[in-house]
């Protein structure tokens, strides 16, 4: 067993890479992450959002597409995957990692399967893509304070563009960061670190909104407080990733109590100027 103590983002990233490359090695990692609360970020500079399950309730569509298509090819002896399997093995993960998990002996087949599955998802999403409750209340709060914002996602580019457009947020985001454009996708911190760089903001004045274990870990490892959403994933599972707070949706009183404190402590960098 290897025991490592670290509070350095680059070292944590390298440890995570080492762990993924050595599956038979047990690592006990004590990471001294930032324990800042949301109000501690004042003056606030930016808010970073995941897309699937964070902006919109898209996981049921993904689950349906996986369930139908996997059953078609006889995966799991033709027994449909349940929500527990979906949450533990698929939700929030990068497509290449899903392909490796589902088709370990034929990864090219897995990659092609995922491409076909995403096409099915887009057909479903184009018909019905409900926003997370309270989303537009939060986006207005952000716009009113002149905060910078980015969408940070493991989704393929066509999926991300479709969802953001369908939600009417194409002009809301200053940047869209894709996992495929980074050296490593979530759960590595790379996409969130790239968002900070593109927006030219500090991790000490930025928070993340995420709904999956993979995404929460990415935000935490990048050194930012994470607001976790219990959209579809179990609360106890999300807590393992160490979010700063967990909320049901964007109307949750816990979120607005924290944002009120941000305003009271100095608001945003724009309003504080």
pLDDT tens-digit series, residues 31-55? 444 578 999 999 999 999 999 999 9
pLDDT at 28: 40
Closest-CA residue to 186 (of 24, 50, 4):
50
Tell me what percent of the chain is helix, strand and coil, each rounded to the nearest 5: 50, 15, 35
Choose the catalytic residue: 8, 40, 52, 105. Answer: 52
Q: Are 216 and 247 in contact (CB under 8 A)?
A: no
pLDDT at 255: 98
Q: HEC states along 162-203?
A: HHHHHCCCCCCCCEEEEHHHCCCCCCCCHHHHHHHHHHCCCH
pLDDT at 35: 73
Residue 4 Cα to chain centre, angstroms: 26
Cα–Cα distance, 235 to 91 (Å, whole number): 14
Catalytic annotation present for 174: no
Q: Who's near 110: CB < 8 A, 6+ residues apart?
A: 98, 99, 100, 102, 103
What are 164-168's contacts with CB under 8 Å, separation 24+?
164/51, 164/55, 166/56, 166/125, 166/126, 166/129, 167/55, 167/56, 167/129, 167/131, 167/135
Choose the catalytic residue: 8, 50, 174, 211. Answer: 50
Please state the pTM of the whole predicted model: 0.84
What are 101-107's contacts with CB under 8 Å, separation 24+?
102/70, 102/75
In 96-154, beta strands by DSSP E? 148-153
Cα–Cα distance, 219 to 228 (Å, whole number): 10
Residue 167 Cα to chain centre, angstroms: 17
Low-confidence ranges of the chain (pLDDT < 50): 1-7, 9-15, 17-33
Backbone phi and psi for residue 258, each to the nearest 5 degrees, phi listed first: -65, -40
Catalytic annotation present for 52: yes
Tokens 């399997």, residue located: 85
Tokens 């096409």, residue located: 119
């Amino acid at each position: 067993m290897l025991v490592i103590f670290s509070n350095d983002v680059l070292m944590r990233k390298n440890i995570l890479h080492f762990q993924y490359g050595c599956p038979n090695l047990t690592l006990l990692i004590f990471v001294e992450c930032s324990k800042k609360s949301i109000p501690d970020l004042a003056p606030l500079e930016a808010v970073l959002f995941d897309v699937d399950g964070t902006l919109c309730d898209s996981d049921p569509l993904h689950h349906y597409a996986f369930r139908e298509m996997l059953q078609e090819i006889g995966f799991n002896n033709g027994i449909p995957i349940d929500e527990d399997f979906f949450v533990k093995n698929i939700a929030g993960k990068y497509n290449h990692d899903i392909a490796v998990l589902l088709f370990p002996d034929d990864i090219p087949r897995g990659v092609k399967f995922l491409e076909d599955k995403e096409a099915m998802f887009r057909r479903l999403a184009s018909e019905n893509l409900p926003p997370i409750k309270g989303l537009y209340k939060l986006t207005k709060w952000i716009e009113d304070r002149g905060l910078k914002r980015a969408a940070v996602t493991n989704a393929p580019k066509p999926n991300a563009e479709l969802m953001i457009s369908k939600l009417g947020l194409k002009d809301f985001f200053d940047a869209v960061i894709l996992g495929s454009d980074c050296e490593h996708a979530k759960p590595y911190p790379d996409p969130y670190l790239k968002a900070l760089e593109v927006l030219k903001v500090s991790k000490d004045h930025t928070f993340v909104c995420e709904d999956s274990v993979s995404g929460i870990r990415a935000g935490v490892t990048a050194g930012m407080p994470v607001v976790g959403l219990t959209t579809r994933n179990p609360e106890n599972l999300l807590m393992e990733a160490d979010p700063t707070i967990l909320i049901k949706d964007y109307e949750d009183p816990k979120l607005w109590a924290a944002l009120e404190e941000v305003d009271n402590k100095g608001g945003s960098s724009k309003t504080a100027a």
